[in-house]
Amino acid sequence: MKTIIAACSQNLSGSRASVQTALRTLLAVPWPSQRDVRSALQLLAVLQWVLSFLLLGTVSLLLLIYLLFTSLWLIPVLYVAWIIFDWDTPEKGGRRLPCLRRWTVWKHFRDYFPVKLVKTHDLPPSHNYIIGSHPHGILCVGAFCNFITGSTGFEELFPGIRSFLTTLAGNFRLPVFREYLMSGGLCPVTRRAIGYLLSQRGTGNAVAIVIGGAAESLSCRPGVTTLILKNRKGFVRMALRHGAFLVPSFSFGENDLFRQVVFEEGSWMRSIQRRFQKMMGFAPCLFYGRGLTSCRSRGFLPYSRPITTVVGEPVAVPKVENPSRELVDRYHELYIRALLKLFNENKTKYGLSESDELHIL
């Protein structure tokens, strides 16, 4: 009996010693600093945004198809019925949720790069506006952060102005993803949707359009600033029809977020990209960024590079129901001049050299 008690005592002593050693080891490990915590939160904020835009629509569609063949078949059936009933909502202003725009996660998203919004002129709320957003980049980070989230203070810089951002109409056909887009204030880049915002909601509306679109993303790479704009005149025609002022904006640093494999014009890979773009509305880009665990590894997350979006001087536009081609060309030229002026006056302030030029194709 004494032998058993002695053995138990020895085991208890050993256990206490092991626990004490483990505690000492744990306490010796340095706790994460506030800077480490902030960096982790910023990385997670960007991760959820990238995954939402790249996967949410496809994963939701596949999940609904799967549920259709299970005992939960009623869920996809009811949701499809809702989409049919709600089909026109994206083109009628959507369902904007102010609380979503004020999420704290967007502040961490902003600080990851960081993103900054710069105002150069007032936008009186007595008018409506079409804001041209340049350049497209890969994922339009500057346009999203400034015109959709409230993290950079758009509403404070431009009081009385409600900002919207347009994107591919096909995105609003994807289940769940369409609700996510509408809640933030995104709308289809269609005449009907833009016309509704500029004519049915009074004044003080600013519709941001990434004019270069998918074609421009194919030329996105660090150190090169090329815009697809010469033959993009539909936004000017819309502005004239509704009397909306044209406002140029430029996001310095947008093209530095990813590295892209750019294929030369005339190559077979470039032709495949062009054909895919015409069929699907977007261009398949071969790009990479940083990895999840280290900025030195390769992955699908953007690099943390500063983005400064400068909003320029509005170009006053008259309301002409059926504008002529000559009138559209004239205001298109005025817009390009305003954009070039904005770029040249600010390029040296935000990372470019005096010799850098804006190439417009």
Q: For the segment 177-217, what is each residue's pLDDT rounded down to a tens digit? A: 999 999 988 999 999 999 999 988 789 999 999 998 877 87
Specify the pTM.
0.86
pLDDT at 4: 43
pLDDT at 213: 83
pLDDT at 2: 46
pLDDT at 11: 47
pLDDT at 295: 79
Nearest alpha-carbon partner for 215 in 133, 274, 292, 289 = 274
Check if the beta carbon of residue 211 is closer than 8 Å to that of residue 232.
yes
pLDDT < 70 positions in the chain = 1-20, 22-31, 218-224, 261-274, 276-285
pLDDT at 274: 65
pLDDT at 226: 85
pLDDT at 273: 60
- In DSSP notation, 165-203 reads EEE-GGGGGSTTHHHHHHHHTEEESSHHHHHHHHHSS-S
